Amino acid sequence: MSSPTSFPTTYANSSLPFVNLYTLPVPLYNATTSNKLPVTHLAIPGPNLTAGSNTSGALGPSPSTKRNRINISFSTNIVSFCTALQHSAVPRKRRKMMARLLLLLVGVLIAFAGGARAGSQFLAGDNPIRQVVDGLHELEASILRIVGDSRRTLSFARFAHKYGKRYENAEEIRRRFEIFSENLRMIRSHNKKGLSYTMGINEFTDMTWDEFRRHRLGAAQNCSATTRGNHKLTDAPLPESKDWREADIISPVKNQGHCGSCWTFSTTGALEAAYAQAFGKGISLSEQQLVDCAGAFNNFGCHGGLPSQAFEYIKYNGGLETEAAYPYTAKNGVCKFKSENVGVQVLDSVNITLGAEDELKHAVAFVRPVSVAFEVVSGFRAYKSGVYTSTTCGSSPMVSFIHITLYSAGNDRHK
Protein backbone atom coordinates (compact mmCIF):
# COMPACT_ATOMS: atom_id res chain seq x y z
CA MET A 1 0.00 0.00 0.00
CA SER A 2 1.33 3.37 -0.90
CA SER A 3 0.30 6.83 0.12
CA PRO A 4 1.52 10.30 -0.80
CA THR A 5 1.35 11.39 2.81
CA SER A 6 4.39 11.37 5.10
CA PHE A 7 3.69 9.37 8.23
CA PRO A 8 6.24 10.05 10.99
CA THR A 9 7.91 7.35 13.03
CA THR A 10 9.64 8.51 16.18
CA TYR A 11 10.92 7.30 19.52
CA ALA A 12 12.34 9.29 22.42
CA ASN A 13 15.56 9.37 24.38
CA SER A 14 14.60 10.52 27.83
CA SER A 15 16.20 11.95 30.91
CA LEU A 16 13.90 10.53 33.50
CA PRO A 17 14.29 12.05 36.99
CA PHE A 18 13.29 9.99 40.00
CA VAL A 19 9.73 10.81 40.96
CA ASN A 20 7.95 9.66 44.13
CA LEU A 21 4.83 7.92 42.86
CA TYR A 22 1.85 7.85 45.12
CA THR A 23 -0.18 6.02 43.77
CA LEU A 24 -22.37 -8.02 51.13
CA PRO A 25 -23.17 -10.24 49.23
CA VAL A 26 -26.15 -8.26 47.91
CA PRO A 27 -29.33 -10.19 48.74
CA LEU A 28 -31.09 -10.72 45.44
CA TYR A 29 -34.57 -10.05 46.76
CA ASN A 30 -37.29 -8.08 45.01
CA ALA A 31 -39.40 -6.32 47.58
CA THR A 32 -42.41 -6.16 45.30
CA THR A 33 -45.19 -8.65 45.90
CA SER A 34 -44.71 -10.28 42.52
CA ASN A 35 -41.14 -11.45 43.15
CA LYS A 36 -40.77 -12.66 46.73
CA LEU A 37 -38.06 -14.94 47.95
CA PRO A 38 -39.34 -18.52 48.12
CA VAL A 39 -40.67 -19.24 51.63
CA THR A 40 -41.22 -22.71 53.04
CA HIS A 41 -44.14 -22.97 55.46
CA LEU A 42 -42.78 -25.02 58.33
CA ALA A 43 -45.06 -26.02 61.21
CA ILE A 44 -43.86 -26.80 64.72
CA PRO A 45 -46.13 -29.70 65.77
CA GLY A 46 -48.05 -29.57 69.05
CA PRO A 47 -49.09 -32.59 71.14
CA ASN A 48 -51.73 -33.70 68.64
CA LEU A 49 -49.92 -32.73 65.40
CA THR A 50 -47.59 -34.54 63.07
CA ALA A 51 -44.44 -33.02 61.60
CA GLY A 52 -45.06 -31.19 58.36
CA SER A 53 -48.63 -30.19 59.10
CA ASN A 54 -49.48 -26.65 58.07
CA THR A 55 -51.36 -24.89 60.87
CA SER A 56 -51.54 -21.47 62.45
CA GLY A 57 -48.15 -22.20 63.97
CA ALA A 58 -46.44 -22.02 60.56
CA LEU A 59 -43.42 -19.78 60.09
CA GLY A 60 -43.41 -17.41 57.13
CA PRO A 61 -45.97 -15.33 55.31
CA SER A 62 -48.92 -16.47 53.33
CA PRO A 63 -48.65 -15.70 49.61
CA SER A 64 -50.50 -12.41 50.10
CA THR A 65 -48.23 -10.95 52.80
CA LYS A 66 -45.52 -8.42 51.84
CA ARG A 67 -42.72 -9.56 54.16
CA ASN A 68 -41.69 -12.43 56.41
CA ARG A 69 -43.05 -12.47 59.94
CA ILE A 70 -43.31 -15.05 62.72
CA ASN A 71 -46.88 -16.01 63.61
CA ILE A 72 -47.84 -14.96 67.13
CA SER A 73 -48.94 -18.51 67.96
CA PHE A 74 -45.43 -19.75 67.23
CA SER A 75 -44.32 -19.60 70.89
CA THR A 76 -47.49 -21.38 72.04
CA ASN A 77 -46.78 -24.31 69.76
CA ILE A 78 -43.18 -24.51 71.01
CA VAL A 79 -44.38 -24.69 74.62
CA SER A 80 -46.95 -27.32 73.70
CA PHE A 81 -44.37 -29.34 71.86
CA CYS A 82 -41.88 -29.17 74.76
CA THR A 83 -44.60 -30.21 77.24
CA ALA A 84 -45.57 -33.18 75.11
CA LEU A 85 -41.93 -34.13 74.71
CA GLN A 86 -41.33 -34.03 78.48
CA HIS A 87 -44.19 -36.44 79.19
CA SER A 88 -43.55 -38.76 76.29
CA ALA A 89 -41.90 -42.15 76.41
CA VAL A 90 -38.85 -40.94 74.50
CA PRO A 91 -35.58 -41.68 76.39
CA ARG A 92 -34.16 -38.74 78.37
CA LYS A 93 -30.99 -38.33 76.30
CA ARG A 94 -32.98 -38.29 73.10
CA ARG A 95 -35.41 -35.75 74.59
CA LYS A 96 -32.47 -33.43 75.44
CA MET A 97 -31.05 -33.77 71.94
CA MET A 98 -34.45 -33.03 70.37
CA ALA A 99 -34.87 -29.96 72.58
CA ARG A 100 -31.45 -28.61 71.59
CA LEU A 101 -32.20 -29.17 67.92
CA LEU A 102 -35.50 -27.36 68.37
CA LEU A 103 -33.79 -24.34 69.96
CA LEU A 104 -31.22 -24.28 67.15
CA LEU A 105 -33.98 -24.42 64.56
CA VAL A 106 -35.83 -21.56 66.26
CA GLY A 107 -32.69 -19.41 66.25
CA VAL A 108 -32.06 -20.04 62.56
CA LEU A 109 -35.65 -19.26 61.63
CA ILE A 110 -35.69 -16.03 63.63
CA ALA A 111 -32.41 -14.93 62.05
CA PHE A 112 -33.79 -15.72 58.59
CA ALA A 113 -36.95 -13.72 59.21
CA GLY A 114 -34.98 -10.71 60.50
CA GLY A 115 -32.56 -10.86 57.59
CA ALA A 116 -35.39 -11.01 55.09
CA ARG A 117 -36.99 -7.91 56.61
CA ALA A 118 -33.67 -6.02 56.57
CA GLY A 119 -32.99 -7.18 53.04
CA SER A 120 -36.37 -6.04 51.82
CA GLN A 121 -35.84 -2.59 53.33
CA PHE A 122 -32.42 -2.25 51.65
CA LEU A 123 -33.43 -3.65 48.31
CA ALA A 124 -36.59 -1.63 48.04
CA GLY A 125 -34.57 1.47 47.22
CA ASP A 126 -30.80 1.04 47.14
CA ASN A 127 -29.93 -2.31 45.57
CA PRO A 128 -27.39 -1.48 42.84
CA ILE A 129 -28.01 -4.77 41.05
CA ARG A 130 -31.72 -4.10 40.81
CA GLN A 131 -31.06 -0.53 39.65
CA VAL A 132 -28.82 -1.79 36.83
CA VAL A 133 -31.35 -4.40 35.75
CA ASP A 134 -34.20 -1.90 35.90
CA GLY A 135 -32.11 0.59 33.90
CA LEU A 136 -31.44 -2.00 31.22
CA HIS A 137 -35.08 -3.01 31.06
CA GLU A 138 -36.18 0.61 30.81
CA LEU A 139 -33.75 1.28 27.95
CA GLU A 140 -34.71 -1.94 26.18
CA ALA A 141 -38.39 -1.11 26.53
CA SER A 142 -37.87 2.35 25.05
CA ILE A 143 -35.88 1.04 22.09
CA LEU A 144 -38.28 -1.85 21.46
CA ARG A 145 -41.21 0.54 21.54
CA ILE A 146 -39.56 2.91 19.03
CA VAL A 147 -37.74 0.52 16.71
CA GLY A 148 -39.74 -2.69 16.99
CA ASP A 149 -39.16 -6.10 18.52
CA SER A 150 -36.38 -8.19 16.98
CA ARG A 151 -33.16 -9.96 17.93
CA ARG A 152 -31.12 -7.14 16.38
CA THR A 153 -33.12 -4.56 18.36
CA LEU A 154 -32.29 -6.41 21.57
CA SER A 155 -28.59 -6.46 20.60
CA PHE A 156 -28.74 -2.73 19.98
CA ALA A 157 -30.41 -2.08 23.34
CA ARG A 158 -27.74 -4.07 25.17
CA PHE A 159 -25.01 -2.30 23.20
CA ALA A 160 -26.47 1.12 24.14
CA HIS A 161 -26.67 0.12 27.80
CA LYS A 162 -23.14 -1.35 27.92
CA TYR A 163 -21.50 1.76 26.45
CA GLY A 164 -23.68 4.30 28.27
CA LYS A 165 -25.26 5.73 25.13
CA ARG A 166 -27.67 8.62 25.61
CA TYR A 167 -29.90 9.38 22.64
CA GLU A 168 -31.85 12.63 22.58
CA ASN A 169 -35.09 11.48 21.00
CA ALA A 170 -36.88 8.76 19.06
CA GLU A 171 -35.53 10.02 15.75
CA GLU A 172 -31.93 9.65 16.92
CA ILE A 173 -32.65 6.18 18.31
CA ARG A 174 -33.97 5.08 14.91
CA ARG A 175 -30.97 6.61 13.11
CA ARG A 176 -28.42 5.03 15.45
CA PHE A 177 -30.17 1.68 15.14
CA GLU A 178 -29.90 1.84 11.34
CA ILE A 179 -26.17 2.67 11.56
CA PHE A 180 -25.66 -0.10 14.15
CA SER A 181 -27.44 -2.61 11.90
CA GLU A 182 -25.35 -1.65 8.87
CA ASN A 183 -22.10 -1.92 10.82
CA LEU A 184 -23.21 -5.25 12.29
CA ARG A 185 -23.73 -6.63 8.78
CA MET A 186 -20.22 -5.42 7.84
CA ILE A 187 -18.72 -7.10 10.92
CA ARG A 188 -20.43 -10.44 10.24
CA SER A 189 -19.51 -10.35 6.55
CA HIS A 190 -15.85 -9.66 7.35
CA ASN A 191 -15.60 -12.41 9.97
CA LYS A 192 -16.96 -15.01 7.53
CA LYS A 193 -13.99 -14.42 5.21
CA GLY A 194 -11.40 -15.91 7.59
CA LEU A 195 -8.92 -13.05 7.23
CA SER A 196 -5.97 -12.25 9.49
CA TYR A 197 -8.02 -10.16 11.92
CA THR A 198 -11.56 -10.19 13.28
CA MET A 199 -14.06 -7.41 13.81
CA GLY A 200 -16.46 -6.96 16.69
CA ILE A 201 -19.01 -4.66 18.28
CA ASN A 202 -17.44 -1.78 20.22
CA GLU A 203 -18.36 1.74 21.31
CA PHE A 204 -18.13 2.99 17.70
CA THR A 205 -20.69 0.60 16.20
CA ASP A 206 -23.44 3.24 16.17
CA MET A 207 -21.18 5.79 14.41
CA THR A 208 -20.72 6.41 10.70
CA TRP A 209 -17.25 6.39 9.19
CA ASP A 210 -17.36 10.17 8.77
CA GLU A 211 -18.26 10.63 12.46
CA PHE A 212 -15.45 8.30 13.51
CA ARG A 213 -12.91 10.18 11.40
CA ARG A 214 -14.06 13.54 12.73
CA HIS A 215 -14.00 12.58 16.40
CA ARG A 216 -11.17 10.06 16.64
CA LEU A 217 -8.60 10.75 13.91
CA GLY A 218 -6.32 13.60 12.95
CA ALA A 219 -5.67 15.03 9.51
CA ALA A 220 -2.47 13.70 7.95
CA GLN A 221 0.46 16.08 8.35
CA ASN A 222 3.76 16.28 6.54
CA CYS A 223 6.66 15.58 8.83
CA SER A 224 9.99 16.73 7.45
CA ALA A 225 11.76 15.06 10.38
CA THR A 226 11.18 11.61 8.87
CA THR A 227 12.32 12.37 5.31
CA ARG A 228 15.84 11.72 6.55
CA GLY A 229 15.98 9.76 9.78
CA ASN A 230 18.78 9.78 12.34
CA HIS A 231 18.36 6.31 13.84
CA LYS A 232 21.71 4.47 13.77
CA LEU A 233 21.59 0.83 12.70
CA THR A 234 23.98 -1.79 14.06
CA ASP A 235 25.28 -5.02 12.56
CA ALA A 236 23.53 -7.14 15.17
CA PRO A 237 21.17 -9.70 13.60
CA LEU A 238 17.50 -9.01 14.20
CA PRO A 239 15.68 -11.51 16.42
CA GLU A 240 12.80 -13.43 14.86
CA SER A 241 10.40 -11.62 17.16
CA LYS A 242 10.25 -9.05 19.93
CA ASP A 243 7.42 -8.40 22.38
CA TRP A 244 7.97 -5.62 24.93
CA ARG A 245 4.90 -6.73 26.88
CA GLU A 246 7.03 -9.59 28.19
CA ALA A 247 9.37 -7.03 29.77
CA ASP A 248 6.41 -5.53 31.65
CA ILE A 249 7.09 -1.96 30.50
CA ILE A 250 3.86 -1.33 28.57
CA SER A 251 1.34 0.86 30.37
CA PRO A 252 -2.41 0.12 30.34
CA VAL A 253 -4.44 1.17 27.31
CA LYS A 254 -6.22 4.53 27.68
CA ASN A 255 -9.28 5.98 25.94
CA GLN A 256 -8.98 9.27 24.05
CA GLY A 257 -12.76 9.85 23.93
CA HIS A 258 -14.28 12.18 21.32
CA CYS A 259 -11.08 14.13 20.73
CA GLY A 260 -8.54 13.77 17.91
CA SER A 261 -5.69 13.50 20.38
CA CYS A 262 -4.26 10.10 19.42
CA TRP A 263 -0.88 11.81 18.89
CA THR A 264 -0.72 12.63 22.61
CA PHE A 265 -1.41 9.03 23.64
CA SER A 266 1.25 7.74 21.26
CA THR A 267 3.69 10.22 22.83
CA THR A 268 2.90 9.36 26.45
CA GLY A 269 2.82 5.62 25.71
CA ALA A 270 6.37 5.75 24.33
CA LEU A 271 7.60 7.84 27.26
CA GLU A 272 5.86 5.63 29.84
CA ALA A 273 7.61 2.59 28.35
CA ALA A 274 10.97 4.42 28.47
CA TYR A 275 10.36 5.35 32.12
CA ALA A 276 9.46 1.78 33.09
CA GLN A 277 12.51 0.50 31.21
CA ALA A 278 14.80 2.93 33.07
CA PHE A 279 13.36 2.71 36.58
CA GLY A 280 11.56 -0.62 36.72
CA LYS A 281 8.18 0.86 37.64
CA GLY A 282 5.28 2.40 35.80
CA ILE A 283 4.10 5.97 35.47
CA SER A 284 1.06 7.57 33.83
CA LEU A 285 1.77 10.84 32.02
CA SER A 286 -0.52 13.70 31.04
CA GLU A 287 -2.02 13.74 27.56
CA GLN A 288 -4.08 16.78 28.50
CA GLN A 289 -0.97 18.92 28.99
CA LEU A 290 -0.02 18.20 25.38
CA VAL A 291 -3.55 19.00 24.19
CA ASP A 292 -3.59 22.31 26.07
CA CYS A 293 0.02 23.48 25.93
CA ALA A 294 1.88 22.17 22.85
CA GLY A 295 0.27 24.46 20.26
CA ALA A 296 3.40 26.54 19.70
CA PHE A 297 5.08 23.42 18.27
CA ASN A 298 2.59 23.07 15.40
CA ASN A 299 0.15 20.87 17.30
CA PHE A 300 -3.60 21.46 17.39
CA GLY A 301 -4.99 19.74 20.47
CA CYS A 302 -8.10 17.72 19.64
CA HIS A 303 -7.61 18.53 15.96
CA GLY A 304 -4.31 16.69 15.56
CA GLY A 305 -0.58 16.89 16.10
CA LEU A 306 2.64 14.89 15.81
CA PRO A 307 4.55 12.88 18.44
CA SER A 308 7.86 14.21 17.06
CA GLN A 309 6.62 17.75 17.71
CA ALA A 310 5.26 16.71 21.10
CA PHE A 311 8.71 15.38 22.07
CA GLU A 312 10.20 18.71 21.03
CA TYR A 313 7.66 20.58 23.17
CA ILE A 314 8.41 18.44 26.23
CA LYS A 315 12.16 18.93 25.70
CA TYR A 316 12.00 22.73 25.59
CA ASN A 317 9.19 23.05 28.11
CA GLY A 318 11.18 21.30 30.82
CA GLY A 319 9.02 18.21 31.19
CA LEU A 320 5.61 16.57 31.15
CA GLU A 321 3.32 16.33 34.16
CA THR A 322 1.78 13.14 35.50
CA GLU A 323 -1.76 12.13 34.64
CA ALA A 324 -2.81 12.51 38.27
CA ALA A 325 -1.59 16.11 38.39
CA TYR A 326 -3.02 17.11 34.99
CA PRO A 327 -5.93 14.74 34.20
CA TYR A 328 -7.43 14.12 30.79
CA THR A 329 -10.67 15.89 29.78
CA ALA A 330 -10.92 14.97 26.06
CA LYS A 331 -11.35 18.60 25.01
CA ASN A 332 -9.19 21.62 24.29
CA GLY A 333 -8.42 23.76 27.32
CA VAL A 334 -6.21 26.51 28.72
CA CYS A 335 -2.65 25.47 29.56
CA LYS A 336 -2.23 24.86 33.31
CA PHE A 337 1.32 23.48 33.39
CA LYS A 338 3.07 23.39 36.78
CA SER A 339 6.75 22.48 36.85
CA GLU A 340 6.53 20.95 40.33
CA ASN A 341 4.35 18.14 38.92
CA VAL A 342 6.77 17.06 36.16
CA GLY A 343 7.15 13.29 35.93
CA VAL A 344 9.50 13.00 32.94
CA GLN A 345 11.87 15.11 30.85
CA VAL A 346 13.06 14.53 27.26
CA LEU A 347 16.69 15.09 26.26
CA ASP A 348 16.20 14.33 22.58
CA SER A 349 14.21 12.25 20.11
CA VAL A 350 15.29 10.02 17.25
CA ASN A 351 13.52 9.86 13.88
CA ILE A 352 13.23 6.83 11.61
CA THR A 353 13.26 7.35 7.85
CA LEU A 354 9.84 7.26 6.23
CA GLY A 355 9.05 3.78 4.91
CA ALA A 356 12.25 2.17 6.24
CA GLU A 357 10.82 -1.01 7.75
CA ASP A 358 14.23 -2.45 8.65
CA GLU A 359 15.02 0.68 10.68
CA LEU A 360 11.68 0.35 12.42
CA LYS A 361 12.24 -3.31 13.27
CA HIS A 362 15.76 -2.51 14.50
CA ALA A 363 14.47 0.22 16.81
CA VAL A 364 11.73 -2.01 18.23
CA ALA A 365 14.13 -4.93 18.68
CA PHE A 366 17.04 -3.09 20.31
CA VAL A 367 15.73 0.18 21.75
CA ARG A 368 12.11 0.25 22.95
CA PRO A 369 8.53 0.70 21.69
CA VAL A 370 8.26 3.23 18.85
CA SER A 371 5.68 5.92 18.16
CA VAL A 372 4.23 5.60 14.65
CA ALA A 373 1.42 6.93 12.47
CA PHE A 374 -0.57 4.96 9.92
CA GLU A 375 -3.45 5.61 7.58
CA VAL A 376 -6.79 4.46 8.96
CA VAL A 377 -9.52 3.14 6.68
CA SER A 378 -13.08 2.18 7.55
CA GLY A 379 -12.51 -1.39 8.73
CA PHE A 380 -10.12 -0.41 11.48
CA ARG A 381 -12.81 1.11 13.71
CA ALA A 382 -14.36 -2.37 14.22
CA TYR A 383 -11.04 -4.14 14.91
CA LYS A 384 -11.26 -6.82 17.62
CA SER A 385 -8.28 -9.19 17.39
CA GLY A 386 -5.57 -10.56 15.12
CA VAL A 387 -3.12 -8.83 12.76
CA TYR A 388 -4.74 -5.81 11.13
CA THR A 389 -4.00 -5.44 7.42
CA SER A 390 -5.49 -3.36 4.62
CA THR A 391 -4.81 -2.83 0.93
CA THR A 392 -6.96 0.31 0.79
CA CYS A 393 -5.42 3.74 0.30
CA GLY A 394 -7.72 6.65 1.05
CA SER A 395 -7.98 9.69 -1.20
CA SER A 396 -8.03 12.08 1.78
CA PRO A 397 -5.95 10.23 4.36
CA MET A 398 -6.73 10.41 8.06
CA VAL A 399 -4.17 8.99 10.42
CA SER A 400 -3.97 7.47 13.86
CA PHE A 401 -0.88 7.48 16.06
CA ILE A 402 0.02 4.41 18.08
CA HIS A 403 3.20 2.92 19.47
CA ILE A 404 4.57 -0.38 18.21
CA THR A 405 5.43 -2.77 21.03
CA LEU A 406 6.18 -6.00 19.14
CA TYR A 407 6.86 -7.66 15.81
CA SER A 408 7.26 -11.22 14.57
CA ALA A 409 8.49 -12.88 11.40
CA GLY A 410 5.72 -15.50 11.63
CA ASN A 411 2.78 -16.00 9.29
CA ASP A 412 0.20 -13.33 8.54
CA ARG A 413 -1.99 -14.32 11.48
CA HIS A 414 0.70 -13.95 14.12
CA LYS A 415 3.39 -11.51 12.98
Handedness of CA 392, 393, 396, 400 (dihedral sign): positive
Residue 253 burial (CB < 10 Å; 0-12/13-18/19+)?
Answer: exposed
CA distances from 201 to 265, 355, 401 (A): 23, 32, 22
pTM tops 0.75, yes or no: no
358-361: long-range contacts (C-beta < 8 A, 24 or more apart)? 358/233, 358/238, 359/229, 359/231, 359/233, 360/9, 360/404, 361/238, 361/407
The per-residue pLDDT for range 318-336, each reduced to its tens digit, is 999 999 999 999 999 999 9
Top CATH class, 9-21+207-408 = alpha beta
CA distances from 3 to 80, 168, 227, 235, 306 (A): 94, 40, 14, 30, 18
Is the predicted pLDDT of residue 87 greater than 90, yes or no?
no
Handedness of CA 376, 381, 387, 390 (dihedral sign): negative
The per-residue pLDDT for range 4-61, each reduced to its tens digit, is 444 444 455 544 443 322 222 223 333 343 443 333 333 333 333 333 334 333 333 4
209-214: long-range contacts (C-beta < 8 A, 24 or more apart)? 209/378, 209/381, 212/381, 213/376, 213/398, 214/260
**Amino acid 378: pLDDT:** 72
Return the higher-pLDDT residue of 236 and 245.
Answer: 245
